[in-house]
Amino acid sequence: MSPIDEVDATRRMKIAMVTTHPIQYQVPWLRLLGQRPGIDLHVFFAMLPDADQQGREFGVAFQWDIPLLGGYAHTVLDNVAQHPSLTAFGGCDTPGIRDELKRGRFDAVIVNGWGTKSCLQALLACRLQGIPCIVRGEANGLRPRAAWKRFLHARLLSQYAACLAIGSNNRRYLLDAGVPSSRIFDTPYCIDNESFATAADRWRSAPGVTALKARFGLDLARATFLFSGKFVDKKRPGDIIAALARMTEADRARIQVLLVGDGPLAADLRAQAEGLPVHFSGFLNQSEITAAYAAADCLVLPSDSGETWGLVVNEAMACGLPALVSDQVGCAIDLVEPGITGERYRCGDVAALAELLARLGADRDGLARMGQAARERVVRGYTFTRVVDGAMAALSHVTESSR
């Protein structure tokens, strides 16, 4: 009998999930977990952000236009932070989680990382009450860290009963921090592949690619490279424009760039792009972003090591696009196979990026072939079912160990 079946065969296991707020990439697998036989799930949120808090780094106030609160039991904790925030460590401060976990008599708790005070409060409450605590974080070994910080991270990770790994770099980080492989369970970062693929295909059929190109001001004859994300330093969107600027006129005449998003770098990017084939769409919500994917030929993500995964790559691949990413993007080693599902280059090497843009832009048929392979990769291996299977295996492990 597998660990997953063992959980299913026992009494209903009471599981808590503690996270900052409803996250569009997280909610689907929580719903699936709550539907598994033998699981009684309750989710605790530190806050429900308003439009300004949600959009702080996007440069525009907004609320996600997809439902995030249905399909699972949840409680919004009392956030006592003086300035509630999703971006500051102290912006989520919920000491009441201790009483909630005690009152709920949970068998295990899953915590979404350790980057906020709430998450560490949940870990402390679990330690005091003898509840196994499982963590799912994004950290990887790509970002340089001081020795003292690596030491502290290792000590912190030793406090969890199990860790859920989102990918190869994250797993390696956990192993390097001293977490035994027997306490690491694979829960790959993913998105709703079917929804994104279906929506992109629908855009391509109606209104059609020609109409989509016109919507974004794009030239049908040019290959379209898409950047989608916050206009912030770690994502390095300016590298794409700098690469365009150093290309020959002949190469540049074959391509164009669509920048989707907003943020503090917006004005600088617009100035940098003057006279170049660069188009700005502004921020697009979840129901609209697939239109941009359907209009494009390839995703570009030049981010530095602050991009611990890069779920925009999953989105693009589900929509049938290959990805051109820097080697510091967390998902690069897992999702981007050079020449098969996209290409990789050394972060910050604008010359290399320019060469790849020129080469790929001259072969749109090749981009389409890589896009199909990219879609197959995420649909086959990066699904919410795999996330839940990994979480179930971890739950079986920690509850058996605590008996």
Residues 2-7: what's their mean pLDDT? 46
Q: Are strands 108-111 and 133-136 parallel, antiparallel or unpaired?
A: parallel
What is the distance, to the nearest Å, from the Cα of residue 74 to the centroid of all Cα atoms in its chain? Answer: 22
pLDDT tens readout for residues 307-361 = 999 999 999 999 999 999 999 999 999 999 999 999 999 999 999 999 999 999 9
Candidate from 60-64, 73-77, 90-94 with smallest mean pLDDT = 60-64
Distance CA 79, CA 49 (A): 11
Whole-number Cα distances in Å, 94 to 16, 46, 88, 345, 361: 15, 6, 14, 42, 50
Give residue 59's pLDDT.
Answer: 75
Distance CA 279, CA 361 (A): 16
pLDDT tens readout for residues 240-271 = 999 999 999 999 999 999 999 999 999 999 99
Looking at the chain, the whole-number percentage of residues with pLDDT higher than 70 is 97
Domains 3-188+383-402 and 193-381 share a fold: yes
Instruction: Read off the tokens for 263.
Output: 């943020």
pLDDT tens readout for residues 22-66 = 999 999 999 999 999 999 999 999 999 998 888 877 778 888 888
Give residue 51's pLDDT.
Answer: 86
Which range among 63-67, 145-149, 300-304 has the greatest average pLDDT?
300-304
Contacts (Cβ under 8 Å, ≥6 apart) of 340: 370, 373
| pLDDT classification of 403: cutoffs 50, 70, 90 | low
Q: What's the CATH code, domain 3-188+383-402?
A: 3.40.50.2000
Whole-number Cα distances in Å, 345 to 240, 325, 336, 398: 12, 7, 11, 40
Checking if the pLDDT of 283 tops 80, the result is yes
Q: What average pLDDT does the chain have? A: 94
Query: 193-381 domain in CATH 3.40.1640.10?
Result: no
Instruction: Read off the tokens for 350.
Output: 């604008």
**Three-class secondary structure assignment of the chain:** CCHHHHHHHCCCEEEEEEECCCCCCCHHHHHHHHHCCCEEEEEEECCCCCHHHHCCCCCCCCCCCCCCCCCCEEEECCCCCCCCCCCCHHHCCCCCHHHHHHHHCCCEEEECCCCCHHHHHHHHHHHHHCCCEEEECCCCCCCCCCHHHHHHHHHHHCCCCEEEECCHHHHHHHHHCCCCHHHEEECCCCCCHHHHHHHHHHHHHHHHHHHHHHHCCCCCCCEEEEEECCCCHHHCCHHHHHHHHHCCHHHHCCEEEEEECCCCCHHHHHHHCCCCCEEEEECCCHHHHHHHHHHCCEEEECCCCCCCCCHHHHHHHHCCCCEEEECCCCCHHHHCCECCCEEEECCCCHHHHHHHHHHHHCCHHHHHHHHHHHHHHHHHHCCHHHHHHHHHHHHHHHHHHHC
Distance CA 206, CA 381 (A): 29
For residues 240 and 300, the answer to whether their CB atoms sit within 8 Å is yes
Q: Give this prediction's pTM.
A: 0.94
Give residue 63's pLDDT.
Answer: 87
Domain ranges in the chain? 3-188+383-402, 193-381
| pLDDT classification of 379: cutoffs 50, 70, 90 | very high
In DSSP terms, 63 is beta-bridged to: none
Give residue 53's pLDDT.
Answer: 86
Whole-number Cα distances in Å, 325 to 115, 313, 331, 332: 25, 9, 9, 7
pLDDT tens readout for residues 182-207 = 999 999 999 999 999 999 999 999 99
Give residue 163's pLDDT.
Answer: 98
Checking if the pLDDT of 10 tops 60, the result is no
Checking if the pLDDT of 8 tops 90, the result is no
